[in-house]
Structure 1
Amino acid sequence: MQNERQKLFELLFERSFLYRPEGFRLASGKISPYYLDCKKTTLCAEALPLIGKLMWQEVKNFTPEAVGGLTLGADPLVSAVCFQAGLEGTPLEGFIVRKEAKGHGTQNFIEGAVKKGMKAVILEDVVTTGGSSLKAVSRARDAGLEVLAVVALVDREEGGLEAIKAQGLSLISLFTINEFLDRLNG
């Protein structure tokens, strides 16, 4: 498992980690000299099996019935984790949380075959302040799901852990930003 973790880290570092002194504007509004554009990794064939396996190892500790997250960042994560669960013969539903309610048909925020009372884990590519994760948590709870935890690829360690804990949830991340910064400066 350590070899797979290292391989995924290398892919994220090479494909998704960006650094420029003048900075990037984050979703939180902050300016940061580094940015993780995870979709450049999460949408590649080499990374998806690693993501599915490594995230599923963390997710299954909560014995959820469903995994989901805010579109667009969580979409490939949900697919990868559900695929891995399926390979292991574990039933698991995936769901996507829309940013806006569907404008026609069901007009739901949640896409997927989830039902009220199901236990769920929220998936996230990058956690900074926790705002996106908590939006997904709120929408999932509004749909009647029992949210157990948030599992992320990377924690930027900028308050997200504390915000998620304040909602009575755990945050498990495969990597922290310090691992990327150590590699950059190493």
Structure 2
Amino acid sequence: MDRTELAREIIQTSRLTGEFKLRSGKTSNHYFDKYLFESNPVILAAIAEQLAPLVPEGTEVLAGLEMGGIPIATALSLKTGIPVVFVRKRAKEYGTSKLAEGMDIAGKKVCIIEDVITTGGQVLLSAADLLTHDAELKEVLCVIERDPAGRANLEDAEFVVHSLFKMEELFESEEISL
């Protein structure tokens, strides 16, 4: 599936209309239920195929953020052979009390994987947590860049952001297919 077809599949599969409160607290009349495209094996495989070339050179670990970044990071790990860790929003309070499940990330070049970035808030919170575990962080990779403010916030924190799609590209693909 090429990039244009993938954009159409994502928007047709996951775009909902109505009134939705976003994680950022903002209200929107459209919403992308990312779990609808993340749970579709054909779309998820195509996303991994398209994201793989965007993985920064030298990446040693993919860090999938709870919860939406985990299936993306897993599919990308299968495609690239790069190990993956699963990053909780907060360390569990039992057992190993881990924040990042999987291999040790200390001293490793880690690329954060997220599904949708609106403000970048969760990425910044998770990055701060990962830094306490001595991960080397500089790169963020996402499927959908919903709002330019998210990129700006992440760049202000000195992250390099790579996105497969900007929101307007998804809307353009929808117009093409109508």
Q: Does residue 52 of structure 1 match 2:48?
A: yes
The equivalent position to 1:175 in structure 2, one of 157, 165, 169, is 165
TM-score (norm 1): 0.88
* Relative contact order, higher structure (CA 8 A, sep 6+): 2
Q: Does residue 114 of structure 1 match 2:109?
A: no
Where structure 1 has 5 or more consecutive residues not aligned to the other structure, the ranges are: 87-91
What's the Cα RMSD here? 1.5
Does the 8 Å contact 1:110/1:139 carry over to 2? no
**Structure 2 CA distance, aligned partners of 1:33 and 1:82?**
34
Partner of 1:8: 6
**Which secondary structure does the structure 1 equivalent of 2:42 belong to?**
coil
Runs of 4+ aligned structure 1 residues displaced above 2 Å come to 180-186
Deviation per residue, 1:48-78 (Å, 9 max, x gap): 221212111101x332000113211011111
Does the 8 Å contact 1:93/1:114 carry over to 2? no
- Calculate percent identity across the aligned residue pairs: 28
Q: Kindly tell me: are residues 10 and 35 of structure 1, through their superposed partners in 2, closer, same or farther at Cα, counting changes over 3 Å?
A: same
**Structure 2 CA distance, aligned partners of 1:137 and 1:81?**
19
Q: Kindly tell me: are residues 104 and 140 of structure 1, through their superposed partners in 2, closer, same or farther at Cα, counting changes over 3 Å?
A: same
**Which secondary structure does the structure 1 equivalent of 2:16 belong to?**
strand
Q: Does residue 140 of structure 1 match 2:130?
A: yes
Q: How does 1:1-186 map onto structure 2 within 5 Å?
A: 3-20=1-18, 23-59=19-55, 61-86=56-81, 92-184=82-174
The CA deviation at 1:19 is 2.4
Instruction: Tell me how many residue pairs correspond in the alignment.
Output: 176
Where structure 2 has 5 or more consecutive residues not aligned to the other structure, the ranges are: none
Partner of 1:89: none
